[in-house]
């Protein structure tokens, strides 16, 4: 009798879960069926929705509810707290599954190579995000003793970081932030947050809604210097071709011409200032040097040789995320992604048998949660085409119990989808007495205990 197609997905972020959804909605799911196991190194699923999306964005975090419907399906199992390749290798995955999809996303900061990045007080945005989002693998405390702070980059992560630094702890208290994050933010001394873009308002990567949201906090005064509003032909073309770019530019223009109010925390959005050095004394950040840039006609910029030193005591680098290289898979150092064609992993000899990628590990760390869906659909379509053409390998032990036995033999303390419901209930119960929807559990051991791993 034909057995279901067995697929392993490594990484339970949105890309991996959408890949499972695409498999479940495919014709293959009808007969002889599909059977999907999702491996996730964290005890809880949902990737950057849980450990990236800012706590004051509950609507986006709510996407988790839609993803529940996929993980609720009987054809899908979750094995949380299982690391690739630490707990299960590629060869081992191949011995259990017809195909393996990697959707391991991105967790680190892209390097910024300017002098001073290693000074005390120079932080990667990804580390700070992990801290305020209660990631178990980062320290429980965060030094927030700087009164003036710089944030480098003008993307949505920079906005998140700047907003969290500029808001008060009490504004964030109704969210899911754990107690250690609330206590850390309570001690935050930041009064000025300076965000730096190396290009102009038409080149900012902000989403219009996220940008406007900055102005909604009663404690944040957003300030834009009118001298930073400048466009060349390239910028004008960009504005004409992209409604979002135009909306961002319009918002910044409005902010540049209005009177400055008296909200206590000043958040400056600077443009045409390219970071050239983080200045230090006794190993600590004491300033930031930027070079003024100007547009070159194409929307790009060139340096002017004019430098400014900014009095800041900490610097957050929000210049993009970076994926971790996956052992046994080819790697493109330049893009920080696994080389692929349509989601099929490509090594020197062509497509690697039965091996696929989707999400940020495939496309790089750009794009919203929803964008990972189209990506997953393409990867799964190609996987199923390979299946139909008989190009997949044959696993030695395809029966579902085999992998459970394997993990038990390895003494891997794994969590399950039922375990997520228990953790979810425990976090909601923690929030209830304070009238909050949820309070996150941070410690890995506590997460495992609450999940009944």
Ligand X SMILES: NC(=O)c1ccc[n+]([C@@H]2O[C@H](COP(=O)([O-])OP(=O)(O)OC[C@H]3O[C@@H](n4cnc5c(N)ncnc54)[C@H](OP(=O)(O)O)[C@@H]3O)[C@@H](O)[C@H]2O)c1
Sign of CA dihedral 260, 265, 271, 277: positive
- Counting contacts by CB under 6 A, is residue 207 touching ligand X? yes
- What DSSP assignment string belongs to 43-85? SS--HHHHHTS-TT-HHHHTHHHHHHHHHTSTTEEEEES--TT
Could you tell which of ligand X, ligand FAD, none binds residue 153, using a CB distance below 5 to 8 A set by kind? Answer: ligand X
User: Of 71-79, 104-112, 291-299, 385-393, which part binds ligand FAD (CB under 6 A)?
Assistant: 104-112
Tell me whether residue 130 or residue 203 sits nearer to ligand X (CB atom): 203
User: Of 150-158, 387-395, 416-424, 432-440, which part binds ligand X (CB under 6 A)?
Assistant: 150-158
CA atoms within 13 A on the CB side of 45: 34
How many positions of this chain bind ligand X (CB under 6 A)? Answer: 25
User: Of 205-213, 328-336, 375-383, 435-443, which part binds ligand X (CB under 6 A)?
Assistant: 205-213
User: Of 4-12, 145-153, 246-254, 380-388, which part binds ligand FAD (CB under 6 A)?
Assistant: 4-12
- Counting contacts by CB under 6 A, is residue 16 touching ligand FAD? yes
Tell me whether residue 318 or residue 450 sits nearer to ligand X (CB atom): 318
Residue 302 C-beta: closest distance to ligand X, Å: 13
Token pair of 388 as six digits: 């139909």
Could you tell which of ligand X, ligand FAD, none binds residue 442, using a CB distance below 5 to 8 A set by kind? Answer: none
Residue 219 DSSP symbol: T
- Counting contacts by CB under 6 A, is residue 116 touching ligand FAD? no
- Counting contacts by CB under 6 A, is residue 154 touching ligand X? yes
- Counting contacts by CB under 6 A, is residue 53 touching ligand FAD? yes
Beta carbons of 285 and 118 less than 8 angstroms apart: no
3-class DSSP state of 364? coil
Report d(CA 17, CA 19) in Å as an integer: 5
Applying CB under 6 A, which of residues 153, 234, 287, 343 lies at the interface with ligand X?
153
Token pair of 86 as six digits: 């630490």
Report d(CA 112, CA 107) in Å as an integer: 16
Map the footprint of ligand X across residues 260-319, applying CB under 6 A: 275, 318-319
- Counting contacts by CB under 6 A, is residue 320 touching ligand X? yes
Q: How far apart are the first and last CA of the chain?
A: 34
Applying CB under 6 A, which of residues 5, 7, 9, 14 lies at the interface with ligand FAD?
14
Residue with tokens 């794009």: 367
Q: Considering all CA atoms of the chain, what is the largest pairwise distance in Å, rounded to the nearest integer?
A: 75
Beta carbons of 214 and 256 less than 8 angstroms apart: no
- Counting contacts by CB under 6 A, is residue 210 touching ligand X? yes
Token pair of 180 as six digits: 């250690």
Tell me whether residue 45 or residue 234 sits nearer to ligand FAD (CB atom): 45
Residue with tokens 């008989």: 390
Report the DSSP beta bridge partners of residue 337.
Answer: 332
Report d(CA 34, CA 57) in Å as an integer: 34
Q: In 3D, which of 340, 80, 301, 41 has the Cα closest to residue 196?
A: 301
Tell me whether residue 35 or residue 122 sits nearer to ligand X (CB atom): 122
Map the footprint of ligand FAD across residues 143-202, applying CB under 6 A: 157, 160
Beta carbons of 452 and 44 less than 8 angstroms apart: no
Applying CB under 6 A, which of residues 81, 103, 274, 337 lies at the interface with ligand FAD?
103
Sign of CA dihedral 164, 107, 316, 246: negative
Could you tell which of ligand X, ligand FAD, none binds residue 366, using a CB distance below 5 to 8 A set by kind? Answer: ligand X
Tell me whether residue 141 or residue 242 sits nearer to ligand X (CB atom): 242
- Counting contacts by CB under 6 A, is residue 155 touching ligand X? yes
Strand bridging mode 340-341 / 344-347: antiparallel
Residue 229 C-beta: closest distance to ligand FAD, Å: 27
Note the residues at the interface with ligand FAD (CB under 6 A). 10-16, 39-42, 47-48, 52-53, 57, 60, 83-84, 103-106, 129, 157, 160, 321, 359-360, 367-369, 372
Note the residues at the interface with ligand X (CB under 6 A). 112, 152-158, 160, 197-199, 203, 205, 207, 210, 275, 318-321, 365-368
């Amino acid at each position: 009798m034909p057995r279901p197609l067995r697929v392993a997905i490594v990484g339970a972020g949105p890309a991996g879960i959408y890949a499972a959804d695409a498999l479940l909605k495919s014709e293959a799911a009808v007969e002889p069926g599909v059977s999907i196991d999702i491996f996730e190194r964290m005890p809880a699923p949902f990737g950057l929705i849980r450990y990236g999306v800012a706590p004051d964005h509950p609507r986006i975090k709510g996407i988790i509810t839609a993803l529940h419907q996929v993980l609720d399906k009987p054809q899908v199992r979750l094995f949380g707290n299982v690391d690739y390749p630490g707990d299960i290798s590629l060869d081992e995955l191949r011995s259990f599954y017809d195909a393996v999809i990697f959707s391991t996303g991105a967790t680190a900061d892209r390097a910024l190579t300017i002098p001073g990045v290693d000074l005390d007080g120079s932080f990667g945005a990804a580390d700070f995000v992990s801290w305020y989002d209660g990631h178990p693998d980062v320290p429980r405390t965060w030094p927030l003793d700087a009164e003036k702070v710089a944030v480098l980059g003008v993307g949505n992560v920079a906005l998140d970081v700047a907003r969290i630094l500029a808001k008060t702890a009490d504004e964030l208290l109704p969210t899911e932030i754990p107690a250690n994050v609330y206590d850390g933010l309570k001690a935050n001394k930041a009064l000025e947050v300076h965000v730096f873009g190396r290009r102009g308002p038409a080149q900012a990567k902000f989403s219009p809604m996220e940008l406007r949201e900055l102005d909604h906090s009663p404690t944040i005064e957003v300030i834009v210097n009118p001298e930073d509003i400048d466009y060349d032909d390239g910028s004008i073309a960009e504005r004409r071709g992209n409604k979002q770019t135009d909306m961002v530019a319009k918002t910044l223009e409005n902010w540049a011409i209005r009177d400055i109010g008296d909200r206590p925390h000043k958040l400056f959005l600077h443009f045409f200032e390219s970071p050239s050095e983080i200045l230090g004394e006794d190993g600590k950040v004491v300033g930031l040097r930027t070079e003024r840039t100007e547009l070159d006609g194409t929307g790009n910029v060139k340096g002017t040789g004019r430098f400014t030193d900014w009095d800041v005591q900490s610097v957050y680098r929000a210049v993009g995320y970076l994926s971790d290289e996956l052992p046994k898979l080819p790697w493109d150092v330049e893009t920080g992604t696994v080389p692929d064609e349509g989601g099929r992993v490509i090594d020197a000899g062509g497509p690697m048998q039965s091996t696929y990628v989707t999400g940020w590990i495939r496309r790089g760390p750009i794009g919203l949660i929803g964008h990972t869906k189209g990506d997953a659909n393409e990867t799964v379509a190609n996987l199923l085409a390979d299946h139909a053409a008989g190009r997949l390998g044959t696993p030695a032990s395809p029966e579902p119990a085999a992998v459970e036995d394997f993990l038990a033999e390895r003494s891997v303390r794994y969590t399950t989808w039922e375990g997520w419901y228990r953790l979810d209930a425990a976090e909601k119960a923690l929030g209830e007495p304070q009238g909050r929807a949820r309070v996150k559990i941070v410690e890995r051991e506590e997460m495992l205990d609450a999940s009944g791993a």
